[in-house]
Amino acid sequence: MAEREHSIYFDPGKCIACVACAQACPTHAVRVREGMARLKPELCIDCGACIDACRYDAARARTSTPADLRRFKYTVAIPSMTFYAQFGREVMPEQILHALTHVGFDAFYDMSWMVEMVAGATDAWISECRGPWPRISVTCPAIVRLIQIRYPDLLDHLVPIETPRELAAKLLRRKLVAELRLQPEEVGIFFVTQCTAIMNSILAPVGLDQSYLDGAFGINELYGPVLKALSHGEPAERELGALAASESVSRAGLMWAMSGGEISGMRNANTMTVSGVREVMGTFDRIESGKYRNVDFIEAYVCPGGCVSGCLVIEERYIAQRTVQQIGRRLRGQNSVKEEKIRGLLRDHFFAMEDEIKARPVHAIPRDLRQAIAWKRERSALLDRLPRKDCGACGAPDCGTHAEDCLSGESSEDGCVFVRIANLEKTPAETRGNER
């Protein structure tokens, strides 16, 4: 995967080469080289851990800009469920949707009903499917990437159902083209997201040839303008918005903003929720070793607590969770989607992914067994000579990764400051003098 397909980049003007990002990265995809953090594109899953870790604002998200909107005749914003949780419990989703038309979009589109449809479809699909168990959700795109590079054996466990945002954008474009008599390419459909992995899923989709979305704005960028639009709105309009919200936004859909939301709407399945990338990796390790075969469905998120703690949010995670619960209580309770209808659409492949999700293994180790053993022995020997302090001063996140970088020729043993000091101490003082 090319670097430009990733939604994360490092700003050379701001990066101070401190290795916090490299050490935070769950897939060891960042190195600090020549005074600057650099991405190893084949390893990056766009989870945004580096953005959260960076104290200097140097790890940045590649998101859409107002200039992108000008490429289209008609633009629509589709907010993520998490966006609804950013403005406190007094502001209802419908008001937020209306505010989006004051910040540069021609229209808004609420996809919560599609989220509810997809939850129902997943439920129905699982009830009809036979192993391998447990099935794993594809909702978190960073999880899908993680499985592609680290857990190729678990690819068969993924639920092959397209995400609500892509399905919503696909339907919406068709509808707008028919209603407004526009060409498909004249309609710009933009997601409003908490998540760099979703940005990446638009730039370089998995399970889909090309995204139905034209781009995505970070919640952090739209928060300010939307907040202003909300406070400037006419009281009557605000009142209207709150009323309309109870009519259209799905409570079951809104719940997807946080972990546990996806399974909360499922009726048939025996389910489990995991969140936080390291916990998820622990769970995947255990699935690989044959555990959890009695679980039907695992909802897994790279971000702790689910999408509400995405790297592009403004509202604090716990407050956002509370907001989701409280707004949810004010929304219409009963499911608005009929199970029979969903089963029919499922049979018609409406929810099906267009492409197969393929493995993207990263081959650092030689394929030949004898060479691989030699590689492993060299790695162990090298690691024995390194301090194992995992300080990151060499630019790699830990000593093990530094050893691997040395073996691949990307770095050298004396890239380690401790090795360099030890070498200096070994050299007698007089020879050091002579060298000078």
Partner 1 sequence: MNGDAPPLPAPGEEVLYSESFPIRGNDFEHGGSVAARVKVILKQLGIPSDSIRHLSISNFEAEMNVIMYADEATLELQVLSGEVRVILADRGPGIVDLDLAMQEGYSTATPEMRQRGFGAGLGLPNIKRNSDVFSITSTVGVGTTLRYAVQFEA
Residues at the site binding partner 1, with contacts judged by CB under 8 A: 152-153, 285, 288-291, 365-367, 369-370, 372-373, 375-376, 379
How many angstroms separate the Cα of 172 from the Cα of each of 164, 177, 179, 201, 326? 12, 8, 10, 19, 29
| Least distance from partner 1 to the Cβ atom of residue 290, Å | 4
Of residues 18 and 364, the one with the C-beta less far from partner 1: 364
**Mapping DSSP to helix (H, G, I), strand (E, B) and coil, where does residue 47 land?**
coil
How many angstroms separate the Cα of 200 from the Cα of each of 21, 48, 50, 144, 193? 18, 11, 15, 12, 11
Of residues 153 and 316, the one with the C-beta less far from partner 1: 153
> Which residues pair with residue 61 across a beta bridge?
8
| Least distance from partner 1 to the Cβ atom of residue 400, Å | 10
In residues, how long is the chain? 436
**Mapping DSSP to helix (H, G, I), strand (E, B) and coil, where does residue 79 land?**
strand
Of residues 210 and 294, the one with the C-beta less far from partner 1: 294
| Least distance from partner 1 to the Cβ atom of residue 43, Å | 15
**DSSP line for 262-299:** HHHT-SS--EEEEESHHHHHHHHHHHHTT--TT-SEEE
Of residues 358 and 376, the one with the C-beta less far from partner 1: 376
Degrees, nearest 5: CA angle 271-359-291: 35
d(CA 13, CA 197): 24
| Least distance from partner 1 to the Cβ atom of residue 36, Å | 30
Of residues 370 and 426, the one with the C-beta less far from partner 1: 370
d(CA 143, CA 132): 18
Residues 256-287: b if buried by 16+ CB within 10 A, e if exposed = bbbbbbbbbbbeebebebbbbbeebbebbeeb
| Least distance from partner 1 to the Cβ atom of residue 156, Å | 12
| Least distance from partner 1 to the Cβ atom of residue 342, Å | 33
**Mapping DSSP to helix (H, G, I), strand (E, B) and coil, where does residue 191 land?**
strand
Of residues 55 and 291, the one with the C-beta less far from partner 1: 291
| Least distance from partner 1 to the Cβ atom of residue 407, Å | 11
Of residues 3 and 285, the one with the C-beta less far from partner 1: 285
| Least distance from partner 1 to the Cβ atom of residue 395, Å | 22
- Alpha carbon 15 to its chain centroid, in Å, reads 23
The type of residue at 116 is E
Of residues 150 and 170, the one with the C-beta less far from partner 1: 150
